[in-house]
Amino acid sequence: MPSPPPSPTKPVVPDLRPWSPPADPDKPPCPYRTGFTVDIKSHVPPAPFGGRDYGPGRRPMVSQLDLRTLKQTEIVMANPPLETEDPPVPRIHTLSVTRDLAVVDGRGAQLALCTIKPKDPVGHGPIQAVAKIYDPLYYSFPHPDVPSAVGQAGSFAPKYFGSWTFTVGLQMGKTTPPQSRSVRLILIEYIPGKSIRELCAEPTPTAAVFSEVYRLEVLARILDGVANLRFKGISQQDLAARNVIVHAPPNAHDQTAAQPGTIPRVVLIDYNFAVVDAETTHKRRPYAGTTLPPNPMRIYWKSRLEEFGSWIPAAWETNPRLRQEWLKKRFGGDNLARYAPIREELEFAAPPPPRARQPLTRELAKFPVNFWGDAAGDAVTGCNGGKKM
């Protein structure tokens, strides 16, 4: 007797419904807004971890199952920050938020402008600083951050006032007593000014407000600052127009000469993806054997610098040789002595192909130049990219 035919198998249909986190009625609104005040204590952060440069951390990652099924408050309370030894001389300050800079649930690290008043031991008067608060209750995705070491980055990076911690309460359910949890933060210098991206996005065209000489001097300081950071073993990893603050830019009429006294301080911010060579597993420092930083000309010889598109000359986009000629002029010559020698030969990019002659130009070219007069002759030459009328 023949065996019955196999029953048809049902195709496996993947669940493509969008995932949303479980309801979390115990989660309070993000509190780090104007008026928030708390005592903060100095803190020794643990060694950085994660990724190929730092290696695994001291404890396992939260499982995907827990991330998808548990409430965020439950995950946060079950995974407190790593504890470290107290600093030799603990300090306690009072932090008061005076302005929200970027305080949004789900953003990751919260940014607030604060007044910091020493409490124990009593020291200097209050200072103004930016608090970057790493509260996992208001994260959506992992958001690593590696702040630079105190005093290592110079004026090109905001001053770093150390790592701190504070305690907040969390009510889990109506019948249980409030629980306390630790939150970590760092304090960094507040830089009044605007990012290059903000300056380029203003209604008045950038070129009309800032002269090309001024803009290129700012760019030179950016590239020089990055080279010096690398020399000190810090790679910021996210050079972009949004991450460069021009401190207190002068008025437009002060920006024609671009003398050293008229160029403001230029500051690179956001070290979320930074790598500190001395803290990595391989301990490699590419410039440890040199006494001078690498030459920005060598670092950026083939870089298009697209992130600064509205800040740099438009002609650089189609003719990279112009960018290279500027690099050589700005960082070569007498400036070579400020940097480590460039061992390899830097070759200029090929010039762009000549533009095709326009139809009108071809028609005008049929006539002798003296037929149209000198002005028309200049017009013909101008269409080919030479003289202007």
pLDDT at position 241 is 94
Listed in sequence order, the residues at least 6 apart from 166 whose beta carbon sits closer than 8 Å to its beta carbon are: 38, 39, 40, 41, 95, 182, 183, 185
pLDDT at position 149 is 42
pLDDT class of 263 with cuts at 50, 70, 90:
confident
pLDDT class of 26 with cuts at 50, 70, 90:
very high
**Contact criterion met (CB below 8 Å) for 186 and 147:** yes
Rounded to the nearest 10°, the torsion over CA 259, 261, 262, 268 is 100
User: What's the rounded mean pLDDT across residues 333-351?
Assistant: 93
Our measurement of the distance from residue 92's CA atom to the centroid of its chain's CA atoms, rounded to an integer in Å, reads 30
Is the domain of 49 the same as that of 184? yes
Give the residue with greater pLDDT, 250 vs 309: 309
Q: Residue 385 falls within a domain, yes or no?
A: no
User: What's the rounded mean pLDDT across residues 74-98?
Assistant: 93
Instruction: Encode pLDDT of 27-77 as tens digits.
Output: 999 999 999 999 999 999 988 877 777 777 778 888 888 888 899 999 999
Task: Give the end of a domain, one of 128, 160, 188.
Answer: 188
**Residue 127, beta-bridge partner list:** 116
Is the domain of 181 the same as that of 218? no
**Contact criterion met (CB below 8 Å) for 85 and 44:** yes
pLDDT at position 19 is 61
User: What's the CA gap between 317 and 299, in Å, rounded?
Assistant: 18
Q: How far is CA 360 from CA 355, 373, 381, in A?
A: 14, 17, 12
Is the domain of 56 the same as that of 142? yes
Instruction: Encode pLDDT of 128-186 as tens digits.
Output: 999 999 999 999 844 334 444 444 445 899 999 999 999 999 988 877 888 999 999 99
Q: How far is CA 78 from CA 46, 47, 50, 82, 378, in A?
A: 19, 21, 20, 12, 78
**Contact criterion met (CB below 8 Å) for 168 and 181:** yes
Is the domain of 59 the same as that of 183? yes
pLDDT at position 388 is 39
**Residue 112, beta-bridge partner list:** 100, 131
**Residue 247, beta-bridge partner list:** 193
Instruction: Encode pLDDT of 106-116 as tens digits.
Output: 989 999 999 99
Is the domain of 302 the same as that of 327? yes
pLDDT at position 294 is 95
Asked if pLDDT for residue 363 goes beyond 60, the answer is: no
**Contact criterion met (CB below 8 Å) for 230 and 286:** yes
pLDDT at position 387 is 37
pLDDT class of 11 with cuts at 50, 70, 90:
low
Of all residues in the chain, what percent carry a pLDDT higher than 90? 53
pLDDT at position 250 is 45
- Between 44-53, 248-257, 269-278, the lowest mean confidence (pLDDT) is in 248-257
Give the residue with greater pLDDT, 285 vs 241: 241
User: What's the rounded mean pLDDT across residues 221-240?
Assistant: 94
pLDDT class of 264 with cuts at 50, 70, 90:
confident
Report the CATH number that the domain containing residue 266 is assigned in CATH.
1.10.510
pLDDT at position 381 is 33
Q: Residue 111 falls within a domain, yes or no?
A: yes
Q: Residue 100 falls within a domain, yes or no?
A: yes
Asked if pLDDT for residue 21 goes beyond 90, the answer is: no
Domain span at residue 60 reads 37-188
Is the domain of 110 the same as that of 203? no
pLDDT at position 365 is 53
pLDDT class of 246 with cuts at 50, 70, 90:
very high
Residue at token pair 């990076």: 157
Task: Give the end of a domain, one of 139, 173, 188.
Answer: 188
Q: Residue 159 falls within a domain, yes or no?
A: yes
Is the domain of 173 the same as that of 99? yes
pLDDT at position 127 is 92
How many domains does the chain divide into?
2
**Contact criterion met (CB below 8 Å) for 182 and 166:** yes
Is the domain of 175 the same as that of 205? no
pLDDT class of 374 with cuts at 50, 70, 90:
very low
User: What's the CA gap between 244 and 197, in Å, rounded?
Assistant: 8
Asked if pLDDT for residue 217 goes beyond 80, the answer is: yes
pLDDT at position 385 is 36
Is the domain of 41 the same as that of 184? yes
Is the domain of 165 the same as that of 211? no
Is the domain of 148 the same as that of 198? no
pLDDT at position 203 is 86
Task: Give the end of a domain, one of 147, 166, 188.
Answer: 188
Of all residues in the chain, what percent carry a pLDDT higher than 70? 79
**Contact criterion met (CB below 8 Å) for 119 and 98:** no
The chain-wide mean pLDDT, for the chain, equals 82
CA-wise closest residue to 244 among 274, 273, 267, 265: 267
